[in-house]
Amino acid sequence: MAIRLFIFSLLILTSILLTITIIMKQQTITKDTIEKPTITFINSTMYEINTKNVSKIIQSQKALHYKTKDELHNATVILRSNNKDQNNSTDTIIGKYMLQKQDQLTFKKDVIFNRNNELVLNTQYLTYNIKTQIGKNHHKFKLDYLNNTLTGNILYFDGINDIIMANNAKFKIQIEEKR
């Protein structure tokens, strides 16, 4: 009887200790996997300069630089096109939060995309590739092009080929009267 009680207590003690070690390992793994920024900037402005001009300006209230990404809060990105067909067009993107992974920019909350004051997009979410100049959106949006308005739920636009596609779209065209 005493041997059974000893073995049973040993089994319970082993299972408790095993559970505690598993929980402790999980906590240390989650602490190690949380990525910490290598550099933090407050009220920062970054300029990217090529041989011809300033090609990119990024301003933010707070910028966090990680090994593989950058996070910016209250960000403004100004991109100048190097494409000769677009005659030095300038894209300005403003958002409360921006995530940059290589050439892919993801904006969230109160996003405004402005191209030469001709095309103005208002939305809550936008992904934009700097090299391909392709923007995508899967949320409600309002796009003003010259004096025309496009609203809808899903948007795709190609800045190089001037292609705009949208789902559930409503387009209001301003017609000029001839005199």
Q: Quick check: 24 pLDDT over 80?
A: no
- Domain extent for 134: 39-172
Average pLDDT over residues 101-125: 88
Tokens encoding 111: 């996003």
**Residue 178 — very low, low, confident or very high, per pLDDT cuts 50/70/90?**
low
Q: Are residues 10 and 92 in the same domain?
A: no
Compute the distance between CA of residue 164 and CA of residue 45 in angstroms, rounded to an integer: 31
Domain count, the chain: 2
Within a domain: 146:
yes
Q: What is the pLDDT of residue 83?
A: 59
Q: Quick check: 85 pLDDT over 80?
A: no
Compute the distance between CA of residue 127 and CA of residue 93 in angstroms, rounded to an integer: 11
Q: What is the pLDDT of residue 22?
A: 81
Q: Quick check: 146 pLDDT over 70?
A: yes
Within a domain: 179:
no
Q: Quick check: 86 pLDDT over 70?
A: no
CA 113 to chain centre: 13
Q: Are residues 121 and 151 in the same domain?
A: yes
**Predicted TM-score (pTM) of this structure:** 0.72
pLDDT tens digits for range 50-75: 887 788 888 999 988 888 888 899 98
Q: What is the pLDDT of residue 74?
A: 92
- For the chain, count helices (H), then strands (E): 1, 12
CB neighbour list of residue 36: distance below 8 Å, 6 or more residues apart: 66
Q: Which residue has the tokens 């904006």?
A: 107
89 within 8 A of 115, measured Cβ to Cβ: yes
